[in-house]
Amino acid sequence: MSATGFAPVRKVIDALQRVGYGTRFFLRLCLLALASLRRPRLVIDQIHFIGNYSLSIILVSGLLIGFVLGLQGYYTLRRYGSEEALGLLVTLSLVRELGPVVTALLFAGRAGTSLTAEVGLMKAGEQIDAMQMMAVDPVARVLAPRFLAAVICMPLLAALFSAMGVLGGYLVGVQMIGVDAGSFWSQMQGGVDWLLDVGNGVVKSIVFGFTVAFVALFVGYEAEPTPEGVSRATTTTVVVASLAILGLDFILTALMFSSH
């Protein structure tokens, strides 16, 4: 038996150790991501791979969410005779909440899983080992450019998502239902605050970018190098990243909008 003996104590120590390891890994990844700016080619390749291939799902989802917001928003606003506020409602919902959150969830499913699986399979194929044997730090060479690329992609994708959503709301609200186009746009223009609404949304999506990228890469890097290990890691990425996004969203929203 071990020297510390008492099982619950050991469990707590183990858990703290894992938290500490994860935190150090995160900080190291952040530093190395900055260093990987010296090799922009690697980062650009990953932006292409991670961002570009996520575009279609993000754009289509944004449009569809915009359609639904247009419909639901119209039915609710009509009760109060304020249909012309539809543009404002759709836009605020998107830039404050749905844009960052839904984009992050989709991103975790689309890009996060592929990052986890890629890194996990590289490990299973001894590629990570081989890189270490070649005196190349795999965290710097493989993980850091992917991390930076994901962090850069997330706010851009969220912005595109919101833009598509506004377009969707416009198509349904104005073109289909017949809300006045002038008031749709002018209410939106007048009611949305750049810093409070758009700015906070961007902050959220940056935080989510760090979250998804870290979870996906960390879980992939720590995956057991077997087929079962990689498949389990992929699932873990979706579950942990999604919960982290939703939890962080609540905390961020409380911090950002509590004083209003």
For other proteins, the binding residues (CB under 8 A) are: 118, 121-122, 125-127, 129-137, 141
C-beta of 93 vs 116, nearer to other proteins: 116
26: which residues sit within 8 A by CB, 6+ positions away? 214, 218
Euclidean distance between CA atoms 177 and 194, whole angstroms: 28
Question: What are the CB-based long-range contacts (under 8 Å, 24+) for 227-233?
Answer: 227/124, 229/120, 229/124, 230/116, 230/117, 230/120, 230/121, 230/124, 233/116, 233/117, 233/120
Residue 135 Cβ, how far from other proteins at the closest point, in Å? 4
C-beta of 133 vs 195, nearer to other proteins: 133
Residue 134 Cβ, how far from other proteins at the closest point, in Å? 5
C-beta of 19 vs 130, nearer to other proteins: 130
C-beta of 134 vs 254, nearer to other proteins: 134
Residue 127 Cβ, how far from other proteins at the closest point, in Å? 5
Residue 136 Cβ, how far from other proteins at the closest point, in Å? 5
Cβ neighbourhood burial of 181 (10 Å; 0-12, 13-18, 19+): middle
